[in-house]
Structure 1
Amino acid sequence: MTPRITLPALACLLFGTMQASAIELSVNDAVELALKNNTTLINSAKTVQIFEQKVKQYWASIYPSIAVGAAYNRNLEIPAFFIGGTSVKTGENNAFSAQATLSQVLWSGGKVNAAIRLAQYMSKQTDEEDRLNRINVVRDVKQVYYKVLLASATAIIERDNLALAQDHLQQMKAQYQQGLQSDLTLLRQDVEVSKREPSVIKARNVSEVGLLSLKTLMGQDPEYPVTLNGDFDGSMAQPKPLEELYSTAMARRPDLRAARYYYDSAKQQYRLAKADFLPSIYANASRSFSGQSAEGWPSPDMRNWSSSVGVTLNLNLFAGGATVAQMKQAELQASQASTSIEELERDIRVQVKSAWLDLQEAQERIRSQEGAVNQASQAARSTLTRFKNGLSSQLELNDAENALNDSRLQYALAQHDACVAHAQLEWATGAID
C-alpha cells in the first residue's frame, strides 16, 4: 500500500512546548479567520464604504438645496446720513433679519447625471478591488498553509530517518563490542547520524517561520497558539477543461472587472468635462424677514416680509482651454484603460494556463512518486534484512534508506505543489468566492 503523509497531529509532534490549548485549524478555518481579521481586508472594506458614501454625495446634487440664516445687530451708535448739512439718523438700536432660500438645478447639460454615473462606476471598481484583495488573501493563506504542511511533513520524514540512523548506530555499537563491526564502520554511521540531524532542525524552523507568516495573514499575534490539522487532500482534484477556465476567468476576475469599470469611469469623465460647454439652469426662491426696534422685539409696523422667485442661467464662455484639456485627459485615460484591458486579458490567459499546467505536472509526479515510494520502501526493508544477516554493508543500508527518504520527500513535494497549483488556478480564474 502506498504510504500517505498525514498530518493531523502535526504540531504536537513538532512543537512540544506549544500550549495544550492550541487551536486546530484546517485550511478552510485559516481562510475564514484571515477573511475576518486581515488588516488589508479591513481597510479595503472601509474604502468600499467611503465610495458608497461618494455615490450618495453625488445623488444629493439632484435634490433642492435649502438654506436658512438669521442675524441680529445691536447698533452702539445709530448710523446717519446728511441732507443739506443736516444729519438724519437711520435705523434703530436693534436690527433683526432672517432668510430662507431654495435652489434647484433644472438642467446642467448632463453634468449631474454624468457625475452620478462616474461615482457609481468608481464604487463598483472599488468593490472589485476589494474582492481582488479577498481572493489574494485566500490564495496566500492556502499556499502558506500548504508550505507549513510541507515543512512539517519534511520534518517528520527527516525525524524518522534520523531515528533509523540512530537505531542502526546503537546496533553497530553492540556489534562492535562483540567484534562484529570495525571502528571505521562505526565512525561512518556516527557521521551519518550527524548529517541527518541538521535536516530535522532546518525543517522544524521552516515550519515555525511558515506559521508566523500564516498568523500574520490571519491577523493574529505571533504567539497565537495554533496547530494545523489539515492534509494534502485536494492534491488530485481534477480541473475543468482549459477553454472553460478561460471563460470563467474573463467573467469573474475582479481585476479585469475593475479595469472595465475604470474604462467606464473615464468615459463618464469625458462627458462630465464636455458638459462645461453647455449652460446650467437653476430655479431659485427666497423668503426674507427684517425688523428694527429701539428695545425688544420689533412691533408689527417695524417688521417686513419679502419673497422672490427666479431662474438663473450660467454659461462658461471661456476658461482658458481648461475644459478642452480635461476632455482630452479623459479621452486619453479611456484609451489607456482600453489598452490595459487587452493586456490584462492576455496576462490572465497566461496565468490560467500556467496554473493549469503546473497542476497537471504535479499530479503526474504524485502518481509517479506513489510507485517510487513503494519500491523504495520494499528495497529498504530488504536491505535491512540483508544487513542484519551480514549480506549487505552499512553503506548499502544507508543508500537504501536515503533513497526511501528522498522518495517520501518528493512525494510530499508533489502533493504540496499540486495543492498550491490548485489554489493558484482558483485565483487565476477568479473562482474563489
Structure 2
Amino acid sequence: MTIRLVFIFCIASLLFFTPSESNALEPVDKKVSLDECIAIALENASTTKKAENSLRLQGADILRSYGNFLPKISASASYIPYSLSRSYTDLTGSANQTKKIKTKSETIDLTLTTSLNIFNGFRDYASLQAALKREDAGRFSLSRAKQAIVFDVTQAYYQVLLNQEILAITRENLLSTKDQLTLTDRQFQIGLKSMIDLYQQQAEAANSELSVIQAENQLERSRLELLRRLRIDPLTRLTLAPVPKNLFTTLPENIDINALIAAGLEKRPDLKGAELETRAAKWQITQYRGALYPKFDLNFNISTSGTESLSRSIGGDTIDYSYPPLLDQLENLTGYSVVLSMNWAIFDGFQTRYAIEQAKINYLNQRLDYDDLKSDIQIELQQAASEYSAARKSIESAKTNLKAARAAYEGIKRKYDLGAAGFVELSTSRAALFSAMSSLSQATYTLALQKNTLDFATGNVPIY
C-alpha cells in the first residue's frame, strides 16, 4: 500500500509540476511596434534612470542653496542627574586649617542659538545661481539621453526589418535555384543537359542555402541587439510590426543645410545644457571670490539652567541648599544675547586665490567644450545631410538596376532552358538579380536610417 501511494505521488508530481517548469524556459512571443519598443526602452534604460537621479540631486542642491539665506537654528540640552566634585580650601588663611570640600548637585541646562548671515561676499547668491543653471542643464541632459535612446532603438528596429527583407529575398532566390535544379535534373535525364550542368546547378542551390543560413543568422543577431536595447527577457521572441508604407515616400527630397544648421543650434538639448553648465561655472568664480570679503553674522542666543538639589560638605559639616522649583528656575534664570560678528580671512596661505583660479580654469574649459560641441554639431549636420542626399539618389539607381537585372535574368533563363546559354551566364544573371533586390532594400532602409540620423543630429527626435 505504501509503495502504491509513493508511485501515485510521483506521477502527480510529473503531471502538475514538470510542465510549469518547462514552460518557464520556453520563449515568450511578443508582437511590438516601433512606438512600443521606444516606450519599453525609455522605461527600462539605465541611462535615463541615471539622468533622472542626477536631476533629483540637482534639485536637492538648489534647496540647499536656498537654505543658505535662512537663519541657522540649533538647540542643545544637558541634564546631569548627579555630579560630585571634591576640592581643598583654606578657610582661615592658615595651611593648618585646610579642609576638604565635597559638593553634590543635579542640574539641567537649555540653550537655543540662531545665526543669520548678513553678508559673505555674495557667495550664497552665486551658489544659488550656479545650482539653478546646473538643474536646467540636467533637464537638457535627460532630454538628450532620451533622444539617444529613441534614435538607437529606431536604428535597431529598422535593421531588423531590413534583415527580414534580405532573408525573404534569399529564400526566394533559394526557391528559384531549387526549381532550376529540378528542371536541370529532368533535362539531364532526357539528355538535354550534361552532368556538369547538373553538378553546377547543385552547387548553386547549396550556395543559395548557405546564403539563407547566413541571412537567418544576421536576422537573429539584429533581433538580439534590439532586445539588448529594450532590456527585457532575452528569451523573448520579438515579432515586429511593419512600418507604414508611406514612410519612405513622404521623406523630403531636398534639404536646406543653412536652415538645418540653424535649427540644430537652436534645438539640440546637449548644446543648451553645455551653455548652462558654462554659465554655472562662471557663477562659481563669483562664489569663490566672495572669500576675499569679510563675513558678517548676526547671532541670537537664549539659555537657561536650573539646579534641582545641591549639598556641600566642609570637613564634617553638611550644608543642604534649598532652591525654588526647577520650572521656576528655568523661567527666572533665562539669559539672552545678541551678537554681531565679523570674520575676515586676511591671509589664508593663498588658498582663496587658488580656488578662484581653479574656478576660472573650469569656466574656460567649459567654454571650450561648448564651442567644440557647437562646431561638431555643424559638421555632424553637414555630414548627415550629405549622406541623406546620397541615400535618396541611390534609391533611384537601385530601382533602375533591379529593373535591368530582372529583365536580363528572365532573358538568359529562357535561353538557358532552350540550351542557347551556358550555366555561367545564368548564374551570373541570377547573382546580379539577387544583388539588385538586396541593394534596393538596403537603399530604402538606409534612407530611413539617414533621416533618423538627421533628426537626431538636429535634436528633432520626438520623446514618446
Normalised by the length of structure 2, the TM-score is 0.84
Paired residue secondary structure (1:181) = coil
- Residues 1:57 and 2:64 aligned together: yes
Q: Is the 8 A contact 2:26 2:235 kept in 1?
A: no
Show CA shifts across 1:64-102 (max 9, x none): 111222111122524556354344555x53111111111
- Residues 1:351 and 2:380 aligned together: yes
- Residues 1:43 and 2:50 aligned together: yes
The alpha carbon displacement at 1:381 in A equals 2.9
Q: Is the 8 A contact 2:305 2:329 kept in 1?
A: no
Aligned to 2:5: none
Greater gyration radius: 2
Q: Is the 8 A contact 1:19 1:225 kept in 2?
A: no
Aligned to 2:78: 71
Further displaced range: 347-356 or 235-244 = 235-244
**Alignment partner for residue 284 of structure 1, among 295, 299, 306?**
299
Aligned to 2:314: none
Structure 2: segments with no counterpart, 5+ residues: 1-24, 92-97, 311-322
Paired residue secondary structure (1:311) = strand
- Residues 1:259 and 2:288 aligned together: no
Aligned to 1:22: 29
Pairs within 5 Å for 1:4-403: 22-80=29-87, 82-84=89-91, 85-89=98-102, 92-231=104-243, 234-236=247-249, 237-238=251-252, 240-294=255-309, 298=326, 300=328, 304-403=333-432
The runs of 4+ residues in structure 1 deviating greater than 6 Å are 18-21
Aligned amino acid, residue 42 of structure 1: K
Paired residue secondary structure (1:106) = strand
The alpha carbon displacement at 1:338 in A equals 2.0
How far apart, CA to CA, are the structure 2 residues paired with 1:374 and 1:109? 77
Q: Is the 8 A contact 2:137 2:273 kept in 1?
A: yes
Aligned to 2:450: 421
Aligned amino acid, residue 273 of structure 2: A
Aligned to 1:6: none
**Structure 2 CA distance for partners of 1:185 and 1:371, relative to 1, 3 Å:** same
Aligned amino acid, residue 364 of structure 1: K
Paired residue secondary structure (1:294) = strand
How far apart, CA to CA, are the structure 2 residues paired with 1:249 and 1:83? 91
Aligned amino acid, residue 138 of structure 2: T
Paired residue secondary structure (1:66) = strand
How far apart, CA to CA, are the structure 2 residues paired with 1:332 and 1:78? 60
Paired residue secondary structure (2:447) = helix
How far apart, CA to CA, are the structure 2 residues paired with 1:194 and 1:337? 60
Q: Is the 8 A contact 1:75 1:93 kept in 2?
A: yes
Paired residue secondary structure (2:68) = helix
Aligned sequence identity (%): 22
Paired residue secondary structure (2:115) = strand
Q: Is the 8 A contact 1:118 1:269 kept in 2?
A: yes
Q: Is the 8 A contact 1:39 1:219 kept in 2?
A: no
How far apart, CA to CA, are the structure 2 residues paired with 1:229 and 1:380? 33
**Structure 2 CA distance for partners of 1:358 and 1:201, relative to 1, 3 Å:** same
How far apart, CA to CA, are the structure 2 residues paired with 1:79 and 1:292? 18
Paired residues in the alignment total 415
Aligned amino acid, residue 206 of structure 1: Q
Paired residue secondary structure (1:62) = coil
Aligned amino acid, residue 406 of structure 1: S
Aligned amino acid, residue 37 of structure 2: A
Q: Is the 8 A contact 1:293 1:299 kept in 2?
A: no
How far apart, CA to CA, are the structure 1 residues paired with 2:246 and 2:30? 20
Paired residue secondary structure (1:98) = strand
Q: Is the 8 A contact 1:54 1:119 kept in 2?
A: yes
Aligned amino acid, residue 159 of structure 2: K
How far apart, CA to CA, are the structure 1 residues paired with 2:210 and 2:268? 44
Paired residue secondary structure (1:283) = strand
